[in-house]
Structure 1
């Protein structure tokens, strides 16, 4: 898949049911529980990557004064540049909104994501031991074992200047 075949566009109101369905498929529920709170990605701004009329990726985010926080990001076709295109769309939006920083949270088992984000300028910022265990109390769908058989327990925050 070549980058010119992929179009990245803002999430529109008509996309909300699809975003909710996709979030449920990829994250186990319509809500994403992170840093002792919850987000509903179908209600958030975001970008959709499309290829040949189908969704190839999605990123949703929350904006606070000076900070854009990526809530979800998924490239359905991995290793094809979609994730990078979504990150670049978020960077441009953060700059347009006057944000100074982009943040995101991942889990201790997500070593592929840690590699991906760091290669795109993100730095490790915080570790919350036991945060996933606490989130599991609110959202029991969160598995106990994550990628590569690693026990899923902790959250890791990453940040990147805009």
Structure 2
């Protein structure tokens, strides 16, 4: 048995993680404000609207594909011992080990890469590489060259690019 892939961070530390994210990315949560962060350079923002417009069975398959391809890219980008910070707006934050998730026979996603209801952020501890999922704009911003180079090609073969800052 491997160690768990997810470790919840106590809510008393919520601002310890959100405040630096807000400061660095100028996070502006609002249903109609798009983008909700200052997207860093380099970044590629994928348009997820075609998934939301699909039929229920296709939606479920595409939703799962984004999570699976995101996990695959993270295991190719980050070292096996490397953890990521996962932020879920107005909910607990988590530490996440992608390689442990990939090795789990029945992986559980307390927060998903696919933004189907809230802002979901996966960040390297130095905040240079990760993803920002915007639920209302229906986008996934991928930033940091290592993750862009692994995840963007997997997603742009079947989803359009909304913005790129290269």
State the TM-score, normalized to the length of structure 2. 0.34
Q: Which has the higher strand share?
A: 1
Of the two structures, which has the highest relative contact order with CA contacts closer than 8 Å and spacing of 6 or more? 2
